Amino acid sequence: MVKKESSVMLHPPIPPLDVDAIERQEDPNCVFATRPSLPGDPTKSLATIIFALPVKESRDPSYNESWKRLKDSGSRWTPENLGLIFDWQGIPLENYFPDSKETKWQILERQQDWNRNGPPEKPWGWKSPRWYPTLSMSVDIKHGLPAEGEVWLFTRAKIRGMQEGRFDLTVEIWDLHGNLVAVVQQLVGVMDMKNSLSAKMAVDAKKKLDEKIAGTSTIPGYITVLDLSTNTLHELNGTSKPIINPNEAYYFDGKVWIATYPSSANETYNGGIISVDPRTLEVETVVNSYFGLPFNFPDDVVWTAKGNDRYLFFTDPFYGFIPYPNNFKTPQLPVGVWRWDPQENLLLPVISRNEIHPNGIRVSPDMKSLYVTDSTPTFLTQTPYSPPIGPAAENWLGPYIYKYDSDEGMFPVNRRVFGLVREVIADGIHVDDDGNVWTAESEG
């Protein structure tokens, strides 16, 4: 084994940080930066971080950099929470768009204005029309953090290449002592939010609410496929019939099962559950009503099994006012969780609205437990509509993740609280192969 001491230097050099002066907002080299925690801000998880932004931001657009510490004065960066720091920097690609409000220079100027004049009264959010999903990530720990952790860490995120709608991003993490703590390599996708379903829903909903215009609000949705062999994204085309208003999806028994929501009040599509064969692209309708009564807003779907029998569960909350704020279908069924039994071709409500306002749903690896997330009034009471049938506010029980057992007949029983969501709702849920439960929450 050959051993030789060597020093690793970052170029350009790391901007100096005066840890005492920055707290008093008197550091001549860095700007004290923190985000206000405002209701409804989709990026408010950043409110848990204090940033120190270099005053003399380099004109090199290929990288973003900043010092970071946790806002809680008793918290430190440790090996357990080091992974949280990787995504907490701006995306350097934004620096290449002259009209972007998320360049590092815009962020610095905005923060200086907030320090002088106070934070904004409304959530700032993410102002770019682009979305950057992480496609892959690898982490190489270079220098272990001390057991007591570090208060401040420095990150520099640099673009290494851009082609075919994706780029390589290298994030270096340094401590105050000049040690390279870790190097993170990410493959990042670039998606145009102007053409995405969620963006169209949000923009159209806001426009209709602001203008108070009633009328049809048709929002064409599409499904994006990630090709794992080439790490490329493409829109799903060539299906045997159109897939209207796709929502959540689940892969089971060789097919993709998709929850779809209804169209506006002036249109005829009722939503429901469909299946897609990824080999033939054949689309089949599984369920689209309960004895002719349309569903509210099928949101998530999962399969479970017992022996040779299979059972499909799906959630049906009422979110129709989001894509069609002034022209949604009036609910005709209570919100709840439904179960379709393909053996008997039987559809039954199995969890009622008096018990939960459901959103996401997943099953444990052993198929013996069902997890369902509950939407909280924090999310929906801000809307001007309270339907006479469906989610009445007095029936919403709170922002919980519930766990149910499956009885001998594969019905959910023995509800108990599995987890509490601290901010807004758990909008997505996944159970991995080891039985760990993951949720997507507004806190980040």
Domains 19-192 and 217-440 share a fold: no
Low-confidence winner among 135-144, 258-267, 317-326, 410-419 (lowest mean pLDDT): 317-326
Q: Which two tokens stand for residue 294?
A: 């349309």
Mean pLDDT of the chain: 78
For residue 412, cis peptide bond before it (omega within 30 degrees of 0): no
pLDDT tens sequence across 383-396: 444 444 444 344 44
Q: How confident is the model at residue 46 (pLDDT cuts 50, 70, 90)?
A: low
pLDDT cut 70: percent of the chain above it = 76
Q: Which two tokens stand for residue 138?
A: 């690898």
Q: What does the DSSP assignment read for 201-233?
A: HHHHHHHHHHHT--S--------EEEETTTTEE
* pLDDT at 287 (0 to 100): 95
Q: Which two tokens stand for residue 100?
A: 């972007």
Where are the domains positioned within the chain? 19-192, 217-440
Task: Pick 210 or 165 by higher pLDDT.
Answer: 165
Mean pLDDT of 366-378: 82
Q: Which two tokens stand for residue 350?
A: 């199995």
pLDDT tens sequence across 285-335: 999 999 889 898 899 999 999 999 999 999 998 877 677 766 777 888 888
Residues 6+ apart with CB under 8 A from 334: 349, 352, 353, 389, 390
Whether the per-residue pLDDT at 398 is higher than 80: the answer is no
Q: Which two tokens stand for residue 169?
A: 């991003």
> Counting beta carbons within 10 angstroms of the beta carbon of residue 68, is it exposed (0 to 12), middle (13 to 18) or buried (19 or more)?
buried
Whole-number Cα distances in Å, 372 to 362, 381, 415: 7, 21, 10
pLDDT tens sequence across 16-42: 898 888 888 888 888 888 765 544 444
* pLDDT at 96 (0 to 100): 86
* pLDDT at 113 (0 to 100): 87
Residue 351: Cβ within 10 Å count: 24
Whether the per-residue pLDDT at 234 is higher than 90: the answer is no
Identify the three-state secondary structure at position 309.
strand
User: Is the overall model pTM greater than 0.75, yes or no?
Assistant: no
Distance of alpha carbon 22 from alpha carbon 52, whole angstroms:
7
Mean pLDDT of 150-170: 83
Q: What class has domain 217-440?
A: mainly beta
**Considering the domain 19-192 in this protein, what is its CATH number?**
2.40.160.210
Low-confidence winner among 33-47, 81-95, 138-152, 211-225 (lowest mean pLDDT): 211-225
